[in-house]
Amino acid sequence: MTFKDYVVANQEIVQRITDRMPGDPKLDMYYGTLDYATARFNTILLKLSQDQVLAQEHRVEVHECFEAIQAFYRNVKRYDACPRPFKFILHIVLHGIGTRRIPKIKKLHQTLTN
């Protein structure tokens, strides 16, 4: 995928974050995580678009970060639509993605900014 494809694919997430109304504290927390993750990811793409050699070195990591954001977003949508008794299952899934896969975005962002 090219950097443009990543940005276009994340456009739905950014639009949903800006259009939603706050209410449920857990859901607000999840959307906040998505907001930070997509902002960092877009910054990563901007930095890598300026240096093609660096982009080739981090190509796999960028794709892993993209997949992490997409998986988190899919599960947040499922959490929002899920009946209350089953939300705890999706909470566990989101917690797993948020603690194992989302921090890779921050790590890559820090690697590229230093």
Summarize pLDDT for 19-62 with one digit per residue, the tens: 888 888 989 999 999 999 999 999 999 999 999 999 999 999 99
Share of the chain above pLDDT 70, in %: 100
Contacts of 9 (CB under 8 A, 6+ apart): 66, 70
Q: Where are the domains of the chain?
A: 3-113
Query: What predicted TM-score, i.e. pTM, was given to this entire model?
Result: 0.91
Alpha helices in the chain (DSSP H): 3-19, 25-49, 52-57, 59-81, 87-100, 103-113
Distances (CA, A) of 112 to 41, 43, 89, 108: 11, 10, 35, 6
pLDDT (mean) for 74-102: 94
Lowest-pLDDT range of 6-15, 17-26, 105-114: 17-26
Is the confidence at residue 71, as pLDDT, over 90? yes
CA–CA separation, 50 and 113 (whole Å):
13
At residue 64 the predicted structure's pLDDT band, cuts being 50, 70 and 90, is very high
Contacts of 76 (CB under 8 A, 6+ apart): 27, 30, 31, 34, 94
Sign of the Cα pseudo-torsion (82, 86, 91, 93, in order): negative
CATH of the structural domain 3-113, one choice from 3.30.1330, 1.20.140, 1.10.3210, 3.30.70: 1.20.140
Q: How far apart are the two ends of the chain, measured CA to CA in Å?
A: 25
> And the tokens for 78?
């499922």
What pLDDT was estimated at residue 20? 86
